[in-house]
């Protein structure tokens, strides 16, 4: 029965490859292979290492944060190439970028990919939320009938998923050994030669490119509030404040991730405050020495308002990058929130109140 099962699986995969099934998600039209076990019907979907134009488009839209809940892969078992019972089994999240990064790195390797239901969240974040976790892994192993499909009991799990997976519990509950692979999927072909990850493979990087690709989604998240504020200030005729609003967005959402490793201090909030403070200096200087048509006290109050608002908002925006960074931890983030956010809220609140008062005075004087 088991031999017939394997033969039927291989035949189905070959037939599926001839029809051109190579996509990662039902959204892309991937096909399924139904096979019969001694207990129930199991389904194996077919995929490949090819990344199509549609995949690249999906990645681009995902990077912008558009339709965040739509970039998902159907959970379950996927076959790449013509896997046999001894072929390796990799574990991934059902976020398209995670799944596609894995399959594209396995070119020419016959294997299975077990996709967990992480609600469309990447491996690292899902591990922290425990959706890429022990219970889901054990459940998915059982529901796809993995013990009938392969003759070994080893799963290769991404290192960044380790916080969510209890390997001892997985072994005790379903008999499968969890083997934590390298951080980067690109290292998997080399890792498979020895099943040993070098120190370099274990090192988590957060390169300039890694930081830059985070910028579009953060800009998309905060673009509307900054746009509304800019329009309101423009209607009052305060174009300096409009420029300050744009500069604040750039400092917290663009310059901060780019300059992150080189900004002094370890806390994200203080890093953001520093870069925001530097951004505020030209506006403070202009307020005091450039607004010569205003009285001296008004010029100083405008300078104070910029000095309060820009750094504090920049600090708040900086804190949004903690979930994507290797520079901090969950404990560190919680500590920052309770330590700095109340202070940031008070400082920015005072600054915004000053801007409202000064702007109201300007409007009333013009009536």
Query: How crowded is residue 266: how many other Cβ atoms within 10 Å of its Cβ?
Result: 11
pLDDT of 324? 60
Does residue 68 surpass a pLDDT of 80?
Answer: no
CATH number of 2-204: 3.40.50.11600
Does residue 345 surpass a pLDDT of 50?
Answer: yes
Average pLDDT, integer, range 167-190: 92
In this prediction, residue 218 has a pLDDT band, given cuts at 50, 70 and 90, of confident
Helices 330-366 and 296-319 pack at an angle, to 10 degrees, of 150
pLDDT of 328? 61
The answer to whether 84 and 6 are in contact (CB under 8 A) is: yes
pLDDT of 209? 82
Residues of the chain with CATH 3.40.50.11600: 2-204
Alpha helices in the chain (DSSP H): 2-18, 53-63, 96-104, 123-129, 134-144, 146-149, 167-174, 188-194, 199-202, 208-212, 215-235, 239-250, 256-259, 268-289, 296-319, 330-366
Does residue 223 surpass a pLDDT of 80?
Answer: yes
pLDDT of 6? 43
pLDDT of 5? 39
pLDDT of 288? 93
Q: Which of 79-83, 146-150, 217-221, 281-285 has the lowest mean pLDDT?
A: 217-221
The more confidently predicted of residues 249 and 29 is: 249
pLDDT of 11? 41
Average pLDDT, integer, range 306-319: 94
Q: What is the pTM of this model?
A: 0.69
pLDDT of 58? 82
Three-point CA angle 147, 150, 153, nearest 5°: 65
Dump pLDDT digits (tens) for 143-154. Answer: 999 999 999 999
Does residue 214 surpass a pLDDT of 70?
Answer: yes
pLDDT of 138? 95
In this prediction, residue 323 has a pLDDT band, given cuts at 50, 70 and 90, of low
The more confidently predicted of residues 218 and 79 is: 79
Considering only CA atoms, give the Rg of the chain.
26
Average pLDDT, integer, range 213-230: 87
Dump pLDDT digits (tens) for 74-120. Answer: 999 999 999 999 999 999 999 998 999 999 999 999 999 999 999 98
Average pLDDT, integer, range 340-361: 92
Phi, psi of 264 (to 5 degrees): -60, 165
Q: Which of 119-128, 202-211, 320-329 has the lowest mean pLDDT?
A: 320-329
What's the chain's average pLDDT?
Answer: 83
Name the strands in the sheet holding 154-157, side by side, starting at the edge strand that comes first in the sequence: 32-36, 41-47, 76-80, 111-116, 89-93, 154-157, 177-180
Does residue 3 surpass a pLDDT of 70?
Answer: no
**Assigned token pair, 344:** 């940031």
pLDDT of 34? 41
Average pLDDT, integer, range 266-288: 93
The more confidently predicted of residues 35 and 274 is: 274
Which of 253, 247, 246, 254 minimizes the C-alpha distance to 230? 246
């Amino acid at each position: 029965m088991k031999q017939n099962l394997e033969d039927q699986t291989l035949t189905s995969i070959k037939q599926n490859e001839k029809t051109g099934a190579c996509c990662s998600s039902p959204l892309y039209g991937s096909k399924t292979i139904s096979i019969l076990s001694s207990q129930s019907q199991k389904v194996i979907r077919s995929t490949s290492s090819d990344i199509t134009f549609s995949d690249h488009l999906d990645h681009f839209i995902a990077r912008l944060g558009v339709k965040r809940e739509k970039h998902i892969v159907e959970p379950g078992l996927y076959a790449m190439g013509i896997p046999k019972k001894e072929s390796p089994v990799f574990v991934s999240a059902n976020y398209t970028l995670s799944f596609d990064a894995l399959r594209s790195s396995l070119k020419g390797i016959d294997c299975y990919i077990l996709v967990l239901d992480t609600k469309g969240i990447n491996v690292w974040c899902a591990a922290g939320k425990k959706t890429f976790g022990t219970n889901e892994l054990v459940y998915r192993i059982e529901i796809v009938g993995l013990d009938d499909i392969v003759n070994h009991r080893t799963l290769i799990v991404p290192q960044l998923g380790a916080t969510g997976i209890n390997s001892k519990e997985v072994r005790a509950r379903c008999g499968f050994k969890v083997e934590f692979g390298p951080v980067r999927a690109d290292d998997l072909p080399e890792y498979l030669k020895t099943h040993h990850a070098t120190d370099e493979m274990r090192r988590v990087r957060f390169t300039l490119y890694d930081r830059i690709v985070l910028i579009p989604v953060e800009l998309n998240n905060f673009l509307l509030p900054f746009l509304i504020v800019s329009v309101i200030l423009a209607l009052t005729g305060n174009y300096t404040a409009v420029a300050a609003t744009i500069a604040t967005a750039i400092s917290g959402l663009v310059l901060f991730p780019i300059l992150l490793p080189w900004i002094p201090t370890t806390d994200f909030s203080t890093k953001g405050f520093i870069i925001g403070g530097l951004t505020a200096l030209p506006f403070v200087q202009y307020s005091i020495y450039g607004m010569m048509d205003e009285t001296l006290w008004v010029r100083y109050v405008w300078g104070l308002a910029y000095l309060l608002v820009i750094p504090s908002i920049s600090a708040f925006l900086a804190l949004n990058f903690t979930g994507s960074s290797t520079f901090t931890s969950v404990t560190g983030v919680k500590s920052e929130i309770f330590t700095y956010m109340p202070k940031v809220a008070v400082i920015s609140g005072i600054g915004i109140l000053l801007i409202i008062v000064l702007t109201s005075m300007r409007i009333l004087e013009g009536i």
